Structure 1
Amino acid sequence: MSLGGFSRVVFSNPFDRDFSAGKIGVFWDVDDFPVPEGRGIREIVESVLRENDYTGDISITVYGEKNPLSAEETAKGGFTFVQRSDKYWRVNDMLLDIALWAVNSPYPPRHNPASVMVLAKNKEKTEFFSFLGSLNNASFNVLVVVPDDVKPEDQNVPPVNGAWYWKSVQGDGEPIPKDEFRVFLIKQRRLYQDDAAQVDVPEGVCDKCSKSCSV
């Protein structure tokens, strides 16, 4: 699998397959989403994923200017920290690491398909945006965390299987409801005006008005 090996982005149904037991790669930019005081990275990640019935092995790669890992977390292991102060290099390192992680996952993942969880703020129409959508289309279960104030006009949320608001990751761990997230992507697609990003319209949601209706 190469970074340029995908050409189409299609929003897939997260309920088509059972991703619960597959391995999970978590990639977290702590400059974009700082670790809340008094909380641990693994504690947050495991709380959110276990709450949503993910039981597979979790690996965590952290990116940032300063290492946020406590001595206790470091001693337990299971982390990789990539020190980068510049956002451009953090994004590029993360993209490459995700690609390498995917290459080392079963492909195509017919049994216990793998999941990727990304906590990073994306910029509009970047290769990173397209790559995550393409990875999702390649039978991986891609999950993202987005800012609480994200809007379709920002055009920076890739068409993937699921998402959380940042406040939810810190709180109850509830993901954005499926239909709400799909409607968000439909609105974003119209603004994006890019034929390469194809997002399926969810059942019961009108593509004309981008809301549930009986038309």
Structure 2
Amino acid sequence: IAEHQYERAKTIVLWDTKECKIPYGLDAGDVSKNIKTALEHTGYTGRVSIMATGDAKDDFCCHEISLNHFPAGERDARLKKVIADLMEDPAPWNLLLIVKDIPVDVGVAVDSENCNLLVATPEYPSGLLLCMASCSRLTLVGVKFSQLCAPFAAAKTDVFWDIDDCPIPDDLDPEMISQNIRSALKDKAYLGEVSISAYGDTNQIQGEFCSAGITPIHVPAGETSARVRIMVKLVGWALDNPGSNLMLIVQDISRNSAYMEALHFVRRRNCKLLIAQPQDASGHLLRMVSTEWRWSSLSYGGKPITQSERKSKVKDSVEY
């Protein structure tokens, strides 16, 4: 989240297009739009200017991206000069570096009290970039470039949580669950607004849900299950929220044909599906969701199931 003095300050983006190529299926305009939206949702609402380095591309200028061609062998020196020129501005400002790494002398050039450093790299930051975060007054935000410019990175995420299927662990409370879910989403670069709705027998701790920023939807015991209430809600939600992220926290729904049809409709509305369950997802559901958590991990803010695990499960389900 942006610090107060930098919230409305200008942000200069320096993007090395040779090291951080435009992801497949996107163009320069998509990347520009998604970077600006992600910055806004992270709290940086000031004017954004993008300067790209690399081979000339006609479509860059069409999307208000200034292109600088740095000859081979001159990249570091040119980058240092550009940063030094920018440092002459005494007002607070933000610098987003989209690079693989930066040499020491360039890092020294960035070290200024009025500059707030943000970084997106092809992989997670290491070396000098991490050192600068711990040893200087600069703020380092480590997000992979492919995640930052993904179409869904800045989109809203709505969380539908069945508290009967996935109850609150004994050592946690609604406030902690809310914080942990939001933290886990941010770690996967879902940077947009997060809304959480809890379905089930919420009467006992309704006040705790509300104070935690969670909307309680009371489903009395013995009536239609919370899971079914969520399924009914999905269709209307997808109609109203195309292009958003949907997280389901429910028991296994892979064998529920009505539920799967509802999720197919959600996907047809260009929505991205995330899921957390007490057990691993299975069957066709595996191929529908983009990110999968075990509830025992997500509830504590943990990491999702790895891509290698997911690929192995998909292969096993096909062979089965």
Partner Cα distance (1:24, 1:157) in 2: 19
Q: Give the share of equivalent positions with the same residue, in percent.
A: 22
- Which residue is equivalent to 1:43? 179
- 1:171 shift after superposition: 3.3
The reply to whether residue 146 of structure 1 matches residue 277 of structure 2 is yes
Partner Cα distance (1:90, 1:29) in 2: 6
Greater Cα offset, 78-87 or 34-43: 78-87
| Length, aligned pairs only | 169
Partner Cα distance (2:268, 2:314) in 1: 15
- 1:144 shift after superposition: 0.5
- 1:179 shift after superposition: 3.1
The reply to whether residue 162 of structure 1 matches residue 291 of structure 2 is yes
Q: 1:169 to 1:87 in 2, by over 3 A?
A: farther
The reply to whether residue 59 of structure 1 matches residue 195 of structure 2 is yes
- 1:142 shift after superposition: 0.4
- Which residue is equivalent to 1:20? 153
- Which residue is equivalent to 1:74? 210
Quick one: which amino acid aligns to residue 64 of structure 1?
Answer: G
- 1:87 shift after superposition: 7.9
- Which residue is equivalent to 2:260? 129
Partner Cα distance (1:78, 1:125) in 2: 27
Deviation per residue, 1:146-196 (Å, 9 max, x gap)? 224x374xx4845211100122113352111123213313332444xxxxx
Partner Cα distance (2:251, 2:296) in 1: 14
- 1:22 shift after superposition: 0.5
Deviation per residue, 1:63-91 (Å, 9 max, x gap)? 11344645344246551423142585322
Secondary structure, aligned partner of 1:27: strand
2:163 and 2:198 in contact (8 A); partners too: yes
1:33 and 1:120 in contact (8 A); partners too: yes
Partner Cα distance (1:140, 1:82) in 2: 26
- TM-align CA RMSD: 2.9
Secondary structure, aligned partner of 1:116: strand
The reply to whether residue 117 of structure 1 matches residue 251 of structure 2 is no
Q: 1:151 to 1:140 in 2, by over 3 A?
A: closer
Q: 1:90 to 1:120 in 2, by over 3 A?
A: same
Equivalent in 210, 216, 231 of residue 95 of structure 1: 231
Gaps of 5+ in 2: 1-145
Secondary structure, aligned partner of 2:169: coil
Partner Cα distance (2:169, 2:302) in 1: 14
Partner Cα distance (1:98, 1:145) in 2: 16
Quick one: which amino acid aligns to residue 175 of structure 1?
Answer: P
Q: What is the TM-score when the length of structure 1 is the normalising length? A: 0.65
Partner Cα distance (1:138, 1:164) in 2: 23
Secondary structure, aligned partner of 1:62: strand
Partner Cα distance (2:197, 2:302) in 1: 20
- 1:100 shift after superposition: 1.3
2:181 and 2:299 in contact (8 A); partners too: no
Partner Cα distance (1:178, 1:134) in 2: 25
2:197 and 2:217 in contact (8 A); partners too: yes
